[in-house]
């Protein structure tokens, strides 16, 4: 095997965001762009000689091309073994599962998640560490620093690898194993959930399900697990074939983008559970017949009921949520007498807490929930959790949620996204908000009195690392909150996210429309941020 060392020059823009490096395909296709980033990861890792790496992606446009490049670079950098999903496919949680199960050094996940795919759309790459989770900020910062000074990379002179045939082969100085992308993950799910009970409920028709894979990675996973193993009716999984452009849509599981599912769930004869996942399979949307479950509520409900399921029978050691996620799970933790941690947005911040066994479940308002079974959020896991829960409780989704509200109160919650805002206007909004923080506490706005206002700063309780400026929070004395932050996953302009929540204890007030119930808070958020004037947008692009 001949190894070539090629000269390169640095790119200034390879700083990983909330979840890896995400750019337009055209940006990734610039000479040596991908190679620089991959070599920077190898350089920071240092000793990969003889080590095993997991490789796979969500199947989007450029997935295969990128994989071939990484295979040749891994060989040149001395990797001992690669484990690759057949066809170059692995969902994000399945990649995490494989890294853990086979105790590999880590792995590369090729995905831009819920961002659209195709020659003019997005691509992404992320490195996950030995624990199966996204590398921490200390690592991604070091990679970024390395990309700014890189001058050469190594690549082996090898032909393209056949990604479609499973089995073990010797490739240059490495052994390469192409594996079925679903099998190990399906086995893990079977350990966590009561497959027998779920399949009995499906068999007698007490449970019916529609899962929208949105033409993305979870199609093969959901078909194998829901239809083949559990016996859900053929056709329960829709849009099940992964496509390079996700059928031209946004593979983002929310009511706006998963509209086929939303329509079905609002029509007569809707299945008991409706669910969808995103491009790389780590997000989930949960619906019942004519009922949408807010992701923050879903996390709280899973936490309150986990002990009913085989994998969590021993109870939870603690829970965590990202800062903008509603406080619904905090109430559950309080009632159970366990700790609840508040972390910055992005799954990488849960890793240390999970590794240190401080938490068992965690989640984000952005349709992400997960547990200590892997180190990523996990879409299909959440769906199986709900299926198992419905089978145990023998109640419809809406009833499970309403019962939860009666016990804990309801946290009305919504996120308003202003997408593709001019970057300097978006920065201006954040600066304007930060400028008010010192004066806000104690001020009254209608029925809301400000209790605190700050820019969220996180000190990791395990390694003491500090992450600053993670979002502006304004809290009120009645427990309501609003949060403002800029997205770290977009590839064009800026996206401002405004998160709003209001707590309602009294059951007679649990049936309000979410936007109406938050109307006063929304108007206040818009006026404090001056979002409409500064962005020149009359309304949010997406409301979830």
Contact criterion met (CB below 8 Å) for 341 and 319: yes
Binding site for ligand VG1 (CB under 6 A): 18-19, 113-114, 278, 282-283, 322, 345-347, 364, 366, 368, 487-489, 497
Report the distance separating Cα 331 and Cα 300, nearest Å.
8
List the x/- string, 55-94, binding to Co ion by CB under 5 A.
Answer: ----------------------------------------
Task: Give the nearest distance from C-beta 282 to Co ion in angstroms.
Answer: 4
Task: Give the nearest distance from C-beta 403 to ligand VG1 in angstroms.
Answer: 27
Exposure string over 54-93, b if 16+ CB within 10 A, otherwise e: bbbbbbbbbbbbbbeebbbbbbbbbbbbbbbbbbbbbbbb
Return the one option of Co ion, ligand VG1, none that residue 364 interacts with (CB less than 5 to 8 A, by type).
ligand VG1
CA atoms within 13 A on the CB side of 221: 39
Smaller CB separation from ligand VG1, 368 or 475: 368
Structure tokens at 398: 């809406």
Return the one option of ligand VG1, Co ion, none that residue 18 interacts with (CB less than 5 to 8 A, by type).
ligand VG1
Smaller CB separation from ligand VG1, 86 or 284: 284
Q: 170: exposed, middle or buried (C-beta count within 10 Å: 0-12, 13-18, 19+)? A: exposed
Total residues contacting Co ion by CB under 5 A comes to 5
393's enclosing H/E stretch is helix 379-393
Which phi-psi region, left, alpha or beta, contains residue 273 (left: φ > 0; alpha: ψ -120 to 50)? beta
Structure tokens at 120: 């003019």
Report the distance separating Cα 420 and Cα 495, nearest Å.
6
Smaller CB separation from ligand VG1, 366 or 388: 366
Structure tokens at 346: 């992005």
Return the one option of Co ion, ligand VG1, none that residue 370 interacts with (CB less than 5 to 8 A, by type).
none
515's enclosing H/E stretch is helix 514-517
**Residues labelled as active-site residues:** 113
Smaller CB separation from Co ion, 124 or 288: 124
Return the one option of Co ion, ligand VG1, none that residue 250 interacts with (CB less than 5 to 8 A, by type).
none
Return the one option of ligand VG1, Co ion, none that residue 388 interacts with (CB less than 5 to 8 A, by type).
none
Return the one option of Co ion, ligand VG1, none that residue 366 interacts with (CB less than 5 to 8 A, by type).
ligand VG1
Task: Give the nearest distance from C-beta 279 to Co ion in angstroms.
Answer: 6
Instruction: Return the number of other C-beta atoms located less than 10 Å from residue 428's C-beta.
Output: 15
List the x/- string, 270-289, binding to Co ion by CB under 5 A.
Answer: --------x-x-xx------
Task: Give the nearest distance from C-beta 385 to ligand VG1 in angstroms.
Answer: 17
Report the distance separating Cα 443 and Cα 349, nearest Å.
33
Smaller CB separation from ligand VG1, 113 or 326: 113
Smaller CB separation from Co ion, 318 or 379: 379
Return the one option of Co ion, ligand VG1, none that residue 378 interacts with (CB less than 5 to 8 A, by type).
none
List the x/- string, 107-126, binding to Co ion by CB under 5 A.
Answer: ------x-------------
Smaller CB separation from ligand VG1, 35 or 122: 122
Closest CA to 415 of 345, 369, 482, 343: 482
Task: Give the nearest distance from C-beta 252 to ligand VG1 in angstroms.
Answer: 8
Collapsing DSSP states into helix, strand and coil, what is residue 534?
helix
Q: Where are the beta strands (DSSP E) in 372-447?
A: 410-421, 444-445
Q: Which residues make up the interface to Co ion (CB under 5 A)?
A: 113, 278, 280, 282-283
């Amino acid at each position: 095997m001949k190894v070539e060392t090629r000269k390169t020059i640095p790119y200034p823009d390879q700083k990983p965001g909330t979840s890896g490096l995400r750019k337009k395909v055209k940006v990734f296709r610039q000479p040596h762009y991908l190679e620089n980033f991959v070599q920077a990861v190898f350089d920071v890792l240092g000793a990969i000689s003889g080590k095993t790496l997991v490789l796979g992606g969500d199947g989007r446009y450029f997935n295969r091309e990128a994989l071939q490049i990484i295979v040749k670079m891994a060989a040149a950098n001395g990797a001992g073994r690669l484990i690759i999903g057949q066809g170059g496919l692995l969902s994000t949680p399945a990649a995490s599962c494989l890294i853990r199960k086979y105790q590999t050094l880590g792995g590369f996940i090729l995905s831009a998640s819920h961002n659209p795919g195709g020659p003019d759309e997005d691509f992404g790459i992320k490195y996950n560490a030995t624990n199966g989770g996204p590398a921490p900020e200390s690592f991604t910062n070091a990679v970024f620093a390395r990309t700014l000074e890189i001058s050469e990379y190594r690549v082996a002179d090898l032909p393209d690898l056949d990604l479609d045939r499973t089995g073990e082969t010797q490739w240059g100085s490495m052994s390469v194993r192409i594996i079925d992308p679903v099998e190990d993950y399906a086995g893990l799910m079977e350990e966590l959930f009561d497959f027998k009970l779920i399949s009995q409920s499906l068999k007698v028709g007490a449970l019916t399900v529609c899962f929208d894979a949105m033409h993305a990675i979870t199609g093969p996973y959901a078909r194998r697990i829901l239809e083949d193993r559990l016996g859900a009716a053929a056709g329960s999984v829709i849009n099940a074939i992964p496509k390079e452009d996700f059928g031209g849509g946004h593979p983002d599981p929310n009511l706006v983008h998963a509209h086929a599912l939303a329509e079905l769930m609002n029509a007569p004869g809707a299945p008991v559970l409706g669910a969808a996942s995103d491009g790389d399979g780590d997000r989930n949307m949960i619906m019942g017949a004519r009922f949408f479950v807010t992701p923050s509520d879903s996390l709280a409900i899973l936490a309150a009921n986990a002990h009913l399921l085989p994998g969590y029978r021993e109870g939870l050691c603690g829970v965590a949520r990202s800062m903008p996620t509603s406080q619904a799970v905090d109430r559950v933790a309080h009632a159970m007498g366990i700790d609840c941690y508040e972390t910055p947005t992005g799954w990488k911040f849960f890793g240390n807490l999970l590794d240190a066994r401080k938490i068992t479940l965690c989640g984000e308002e952005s349709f992400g929930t997960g547990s200590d079974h892997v180190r990523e959020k996990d879409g299909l896991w959440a769906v199986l959790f709900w299926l198992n829960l419905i089978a145990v409780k023998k109640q419809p989704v809406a009833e499970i949620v309403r019962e939860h509200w009666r016990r804990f109160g309801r946290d009305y919650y919504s996120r308003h996204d202003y997408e593709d805002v001019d970057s300097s206007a978006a920065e201006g909004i954040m600066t304007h908000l930060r400028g008010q923080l010192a004066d806000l506490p104690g001020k009254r706005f209608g029925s809301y009195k400000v209790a605190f206002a700050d820019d969220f700063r996180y000190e990791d309780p395990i390694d003491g690392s500090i992450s600053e400026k993670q979002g502006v929070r304004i809290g009120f004395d009645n427990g309501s909150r609003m949060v403002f932050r800029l997205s770290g996953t977009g590839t064009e302009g800026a996206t401002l996210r405004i998160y709003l929540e209001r707590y309602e204890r009294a059951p007679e007030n649990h049936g309000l429309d979410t936007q109406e119930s938050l109307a006063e808070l929304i108007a206040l958020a818009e006026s404090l941020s001056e979002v409409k004037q500064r962005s020149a947008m009359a309304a949010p692009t997406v409301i979830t």
